[in-house]
Amino acid sequence: MGRFFFSDCRLPFRLMNHKKAASRIQDLTALLNEHNYRYYILDNPTISDAEYDALLRELQDLETSQPDLIQPDSPSQRVGSPPLSRFEALTHSIPMLSLENAMSDEELINFDTRVRKALELDRIDYVVEPKLDGLGVELIYMDGVFIAGSTRGDGYTGENISTNLKTLKSLPLRLRQNARSIPPYLEVRGEVFMTHIDFEQLNRRQLVAEKPAFANPRNAAAGSLRQLDSRITASRNLQVNIYASGRIDDFRVASHMEFIQALRDWGFPVNDRFTLCHGIEDVIRFHNQLEADRESLSYDIDGTVTKVNDFAFQDQLGIRSRSPRWAIAGKFKARQAVTSILSIEASVGRTGAITPVANLDPVPIGGVTVARATLHNQDEIDRKDVRVGDFVVVQRAGDVIPEVVKVILENRPDNTRVYRIPDQCPVCDGHVVRLDGEAKHYCQNISCPAQIKGRIEHFVAKRCLDIDGFGSKLVDQLVDTGFLNSIADIYSLTADQLAGLDRMAEKSADNIMEAVAASKSAELWRLIHGLGIRNVGEHLSKVLAEKYGSLKSISETSAEELEGTNEVGPIVALGVVEFFKEEDNRKLITSLGSHGLDPQIDISSRWEGVLFGLSFVFSGKLEYFNRDSARELVESLGGATANSISKKIDYLVAGPGAGSKLEKAEKLRVKVLTEDEFRKMAGAE
């Protein structure tokens, strides 16, 4: 009988009844998760690998015999599952915004100046952390158990990679119970990355298997995390660090540093270099020190991230179209290399802007082979005296966009050639001009194929009309064959025209026609964004759609009225007005409407709102609202909000610390309300 018992009196799984198996599975799951936490988070293992493997094997045997007892946080779920056919989409409750970049100490100082001015403070506490070079993800927990995870995607919708994320051993499948309560619903954001050692080992395995090596750890991590077969992901030792929140229910802390401590308490892996800095001078010192330490780290970073520590201040500062005003990415000095310019050509964008691009003798920079680099504009070419045939220093600006930094004049060959942007468009031979006050040259031919193609590609893109199957190669064919001469022509296409194109099957043609038809039901903001109005991105498209309700209403408004819209400044307002002045643009909109593309939002109820026609500015610390929720309430009741005090403003809602806005309101005789008075006016008591 002795062979049936282990030293701790455990029954082998074949002899256990269901109740005992359930109890043992729960015990093993909790025990193994604790060992994972000690190994991957605390870096302080208390058992050997062999002992851990024996416990895991016992758990797997029990789960095989009693599959209905598998716990959602079981370590056995980290080994991967059979392949998926595709990733489903997963929408973020709160957008995962991008960050503004600071390329120098001066730009960090400018950021601090803007923040202090907006908050009317002499000094700000910031939290600074390494900017990991990996893949952004969001993790979702309910009652402390991991239920789903996704990529950042476009910031609004990502890919559901839950199965792959479960394979990351440092990612907790169940949060730790301790003195800090676990929110019933919790979203956190972080970065998945690969260490240098794991990257080198992966590439060695790739080469042995006669597969291509990865260019750098970031590509390796991203490629590993987006495998449809999660067993491949599980075979690669990916890491994750958590650094931000999404939606969290029934939980509140006052600062980012407190939130970071909460992450640690719950068992999340957090980078050990989070630092609280008292003022921008401390931020710059930390940034420069981390840049000096960059090569000694076991993982790649490309800068630092600086965030205002106080959450109330973050709410007060708010967000721009795609980035928060309370955070900035400080980029390290770009990695550089020397190569030669083989030729220079003019690239034409969708707005007609012409950008000179250098074709280079290919050179590796930071793990990526660079063969082309921007020269920005003619002024930059002249200032740097860049010529065809020159030896130049090339860098990946912010470790991303290649650009020519300078010419190595002492190595200049005798046969170099001066370059000038041509007077005729290289695509259509149209007239090229440089507008007053502009650094760019523009092709003036609105029928230029490069512009048509670019505008169509923008119009059909995922964050615009989202016409699936309309890739750049298809757009090239349709424009080159003459089937598309404008955006509106998309809605005149036939299945026969599509089916007659190269490599276009009948089924694919039918699918595209269905996607085109479905786009006629697109939301108004998508159409506004798709029109490509200069300086009007996705966020402002939503702002305009919510305020005006139709393209017709927007086209009939004035620049002055537009400027009264929250987040719309004079440059954007002028751009919108000028766009709708153009006869060709009006014809395009009419044509789209004739094809059934005229989305509208019923805003009539707002005309009946108790705040209709009134404008508000909020300043100081508010108890019941943050800036976004206050703005949404005002606009839902027919009112408008702005960021600064002027004679056009009806009310300033002032909390403690209102400062200069309060002084200016009193000077301009703008009525000042307390938060309680505002709540009473809005019926929000």
Encode pLDDT of 100-121 as tens digits: 999 899 999 999 999 999 999 9
Name the residue type at position 140.
I
Place of tokens 């390494």: 130
Q: Write the CATH number for 425.
A: 2.40.50.140
Residues 588 and 629 in one domain: no
User: From CA 502, how far away is CA 500, in angstroms rounded?
Assistant: 7
Long-range contacts of residues 47-52, Cβ cutoff 8 Å, at least 24 apart: none
- Computed over its alpha carbons, how large is the radius of gyration of the chain? 29
Same domain, 118 and 246: yes
Instruction: Look at residue 10 and tell me whether its pLDDT is greater than 70.
Output: no
CATH number reported for the structural domain that contains residue 455 in this entry: 1.10.150.20
- Same-domain pairing of 408 and 536: no
Q: Are 117 and 258 contained in the same domain? A: yes
Task: Report the sign of the C-alpha dihedral through residues 638, 643, 647, 653, in that order.
Answer: positive
Residues 280 and 415 in one domain: no
Q: Which residue among the candidates 131, 166, 453, 661 is catalytic per the annotation?
A: 131
Nearest to 531 by CA among 479, 589, 485: 589
Q: Is the pLDDT score of 5 beyond 50?
A: no
From 287, 307, 331, the end of a domain falls on 331
In whole angstroms, how far apart are CA 533 and each of 154, 160, 451, 579? 20, 32, 14, 7
Residues 141 and 72 in one domain: no
The two beta strands, 336-348 and 401-407, are unpaired
The pTM score is: 0.63
Q: Average the pLDDT over each of 74-88, 177-191, 437-451, 527-541 and give the range with the smallest value.
A: 74-88
Decide if 37 is inside a domain: yes
Average of per-residue pLDDT values in the chain:
87
* Angle, helices 217-225/196-208, rounded to nearest 10 degrees: 70
Q: Is residue 96 part of a domain?
A: no
Range 377-384, long-range pairs (CB < 8 A, 24+ positions): 377/421, 377/439, 377/440, 377/441, 378/420, 378/421, 378/434, 378/441, 379/439, 381/344, 381/356, 381/419
DSSP code of residue 326: T
Least confident of 12-21, 400-409, 435-444, 511-520: 12-21
User: Strand order of the sheet with strand 239-248?
Assistant: 145-151, 135-142, 185-193, 239-248
33 vs 111: which has the higher pLDDT:
111
Please check whether residues 592 and 637 belong to one and the same domain. Answer: no
CATH number where 48 lies? 1.10.287.610
- Co-location of 132 and 228 in the same domain: yes
* Average pLDDT of the residues in 638-654: 83
Together in a domain, 389 and 486: no
Residue where a domain terminates, one of 389, 410, 434 = 434
Pair (543, 584) in one structural domain? yes
Task: Give the range of the structural domain holding residue 315, as residue numbers without chain letter.
Answer: 101-331
Answer yes or no: is 158 within a domain.
yes
- Give pLDDT, residue 271: 95
More confident call, 22 vs 525? 525
Query: Residue 672's domain is classified under what CATH number?
Result: 3.40.50.10190
Enter the tokens of residue 173. 């499948």
In a shared domain, residues 289 and 180: yes
The stretch 330-358 carries a mean pLDDT of 91
Please indicate, yes or no, if residue 85 is contained in any of the structural domains.
no
Q: Which of 292-296, 380-384, 401-405, 663-667 reaches the highest mean pLDDT?
A: 380-384
CATH code of the domain in which 162 resides: 3.30.470.30
The total number of structural domains in the chain stands at: 6
Tens digits of residue pLDDT in 165-176:
999 999 999 998
* Segment 520-544 mean pLDDT: 90
**131 classed as catalytic:** yes
> Considering 555, 571, 601, which residue would you say is the last residue of a domain?
601
Identify the CA nearest to 633 among candidates 677, 678, 603, 665: 678
